[in-house]
Amino acid sequence: MELTGKEIRKSYGKKEVLCGIDLTLEEHKIYGLIGRNGAGKTTLLSVLTAQSPLTSGSVTLDGQTVWENKKALSHLCFAREISQMAGSGIAAVKAKDYLKIAKTFCPHWNQEMADRLTGQFHLDVKKRIGKLSKGMVSMLTIIVGLASKADITFLDEPTSGLDVIAREKFYQLLMEEYTETNRTFVISTHIIEEAEDIFEDVIILDEGKILRNENTQELLERSFHVSGLAEEVDAACEGLTVYHEETIGRSKGVTVVLEDGQQIMPGHEVKVQKLNLQKLFVALCEKDDEA
Amino acid sequence: MKKYIKFWGEYVLGELGIALLVTAIYCVFGAMFGRMNWNGSALASILAVMPSYFLFSALFVHCILTISMFRMYTPVLLSMGQTRRSALWQQLGVNAVSMALILLAGWMLLVGAPKIFSYHMLFGENFGLLAGIELLLGGFSIFMGTLVVRFGNKLGILVGMLLGAIFGGTSVAAIDLVKGDINAMQTWVSVDVSMNVNVIFAVIGVAAYLVFGILAVRMTRKIEAKL
C-alpha cells in the first residue's frame, strides 16, 4: 500500500503553507516528520488524509484518489492533536465517549487493544477531554492511532506533554505494533533526539517545502560537523554545500551533507564529527534563518 | 451499518430524553405560576398543557443540539476516516429522524391530551401549522450548524444568541397562549388559521427543511476537520 502526494499545494488566503510537495509513503515503514513550528507538518498530514482540501495537486492511495473516497480513507488514520479549548466542541466529550466514537467509525478498530492501552497508560476515561492533562490527551490520541489498525497511521505530536516514562512506553508500543503488523506510521514530533532510532525514514519540512526525505541512517552517515581553523575548514569543504556556519575568532565549524561522489577534502587539519538527527535538523533549518 | 444505527439511535433517544426533561421543568414552572387547571385532576391538567410545552421545548432542545452536533461530530467523523458526504448525510438522517419523532410525540400528546383549555383545540386542529414551524426552525438549525462548522465559534455564539432571542421572545408571547387567549394566539401567528394554512405551513416547512439540508450539503463540501 503506497500513499503518493504529487505537487501538493495548500494556501490559506495569500499565504502558501505547502509549496509543491512530492511525497511517497511506502508500506511498512516508520517515517519521522520533523520541522519547525509553522513549517506545515500538520497541514501536510491533513491534506494527505483528505481532512483538508488541497489547493492544487493530488493525493492517491495505490493510484486511487483519497479525497472523498471511503475505501481509500478506510486505510488511513490521522490521530491528530485534540483542542482542549472550551469552544472546540470535543472538549466537552468524555474520553470514553471519544473512544466509543472511534470504535463506531474506525473501520478496523481493535477494542481489545484500546482497552489494553487505556489500562497501560492509566487513562481516566471518565474525565471530559477539556479536563484531562495535556499528556492524557496525547495518550488518548495515541490509543486512537494504534487501535485504529489503519494501514497508514499518522500521529501528530503524539509525545507532546507526555512524561519520559509514558514516551518510552509509546515508543515500545509503536515498535511492537510495527514488528507485528505491516502498518506504516508517520510521526510528527519535536522531540527528535529520542525518536531518531525509531524513524526508518525522515522527512524534514521547512517553510512548506521538503528539505530532506530519505533513510535516516543513510542521511546521518553522510552528515558531518567539520571544525578547525577557518581556512582549513573552507579548504576541506570546498565544493560542498555548507550549512550552519559558526565562527569563533579564527575557528570555524560547519555542517555538510555529502551527496553522491562528494567527500571532505583529505589533507586538512580539521576535526570531522558525525551528527545526530537533532543537530543536523538544526543546521539545515537554521541556514534559512541566517539567509 | 448496525453500529452506526446503534450509535445514532442512542443520540436520538438522548435528545428526546433531554426534551422531555425540559418539558417537565416547564410543567413545574407552569404549576408554580398558576397555568394549570387544578379544579380537575392534577394529572389531566399536566397532560393538558404538556403537548404545547413539549413541542416548544423539544424544538428548542433540537435546534441547540443540532448546531452542537454538527460542530462536534463533523470534524470528529472526518478525522476518523468518514467522507464529508457520509458524515453529513448521517447527521442529516439523524436530524430528520429526531425531528420526525418530536412531531410524532407532539401529535400523540395533542391527540391524547385532555381538552381542558380552549387553545388545545386550536393546537390540535392546527398541527400542520405547528409542524411547518417546527420543520422550518429545525432546517434552519441544520444550516446554522454547518455554518458554525465552517466559520467557527464566533458565529456559533451569535447563532446561539439568535436562537435564544427567538425562543425567549416566543416564550413571552406564549404566556398569553397558556392563559387561553385565542385572540392572542391568532395575533401571534398573524394568520387566520384554517386547514389551508395548515397545508401551506406544512409544505413550507418541508420545503424549507429540504432547502436548508441542500445548503448544508453544499456548505460542507470542502470543510476542514479541526478538532
- From CA B11, how far away is CA B13, in angstroms rounded? 6
pLDDT at B122: 59
Contacts of A90 in chain B (CB under 8 A): 72, 75-76, 227
Block residue for cell numbers 486512537:
A144
pLDDT the model gives residue B181: 47
Q: A56-60, A175-179, B127-131, B195-199: which range is least confident on average?
A: B195-199
Q: What is the pLDDT of residues A148-187, one digit of tens each?
A: 999 999 999 998 888 899 899 999 999 999 999 989 999 9
Task: For residue A76, give how far its alpha carbon lies from the nearest alpha carbon of chain B (Å).
Answer: 7
pLDDT tops 70 at residue B40: no
Which residue does chain A place closest to B67, by CA atoms?
A: A89
| pTM of the shown model | 0.82
Q: Confidence band (pLDDT; 50, 70, 90) for A139?
A: very high
The pLDDT value recorded for residue A86 is: 61
Distance from CA of B69 to the nearest CA of A (A): 9
| Residue A91 banded pLDDT, cuts 50, 70, 90 | confident
Yes or no, beta carbons of A89 and B4 under 8 Å apart: no
pLDDT band, very low/low/confident/very high, at A88 (cuts 50, 70, 90): low
Pull the grid cell for residue B225. 476537520
Rg (CA), chain A: 21
Asked whether the beta carbons of residue B75 and residue A77 sit closer than 8 angstroms, the reply is no
Report yes or no: A100 at the B interface, CB cutoff 8 Å: yes
State the pLDDT at residue B205: 85
HSE-CB at A252 with a 13 A cutoff on CA atoms is: 18
| Mean residue pLDDT across chain B | 77
Task: Please list, residue by residue across A175-203, b when 16 or more beta carbons sit within 10 angstroms of its beta carbon and e when fewer do.
Answer: eebbeeeebbbbbbbebbeebbebbbbbb
B134 band by pLDDT with thresholds 50, 70 and 90: confident
Interchain contact, B82 vs A78, CB within 8 Å: no
Q: Looking at CA atoms only, how far is residue A195 from chain B in angstroms?
A: 25
Among A53, A81, A148, beta carbon nearest to B222:
A53
Residues of A in contact with B153 (CB under 8 A): 87-88
Nearest CA in chain A to B78: A51
Interface test with B, best of A18, A49, A68, A105 (most B CBs within 10 A): A105
Mean pLDDT of all residues in B153-162: 71
pLDDT attached to residue A247: 87
pLDDT band at B12 (very low <50, low <70, confident <90, very high): very high
pLDDT of A64 reads 92
Let me know: does B104 contact B178? Beta carbons within 8 Å: no
CB proximity under 8 Å: B 189-208 to A: none
Q: Is 90 exceeded by the pLDDT of residue A49? A: yes
Exposure on the CB side of residue A239, measured as CA atoms within 13 A: 9
Task: Give A137's contacts in chain B (Cβ within 8 Å).
Answer: none
Q: Which residues of B touch A102 (CB under 8 A)?
A: 80
Q: Give the per-residue pLDDT at B180.
A: 47
Return the pLDDT at B38: 56
Using alpha carbons, select from A53, A67, A42, A146 the residue that is nearest to residue A102.
A146
Of A82, A88, A104, the CB nearest to B7: A104
Q: Return the pLDDT at B186.
A: 47
Q: Do B156 and A87 touch (CB under 8 A)?
A: yes
Looking at residue A259, what is its pLDDT?
Answer: 87
For residues A196 and B226, the model is more confident at A196
pLDDT tens by residue, B175-196: 555 454 444 444 444 445 555 7
A88, A93, A107 member nearest B81 (Cβ):
A107
Of chain A residues 232-291, which have a CB less than 8 A from chain B?
none
CA distance A208 to chain B (A): 19
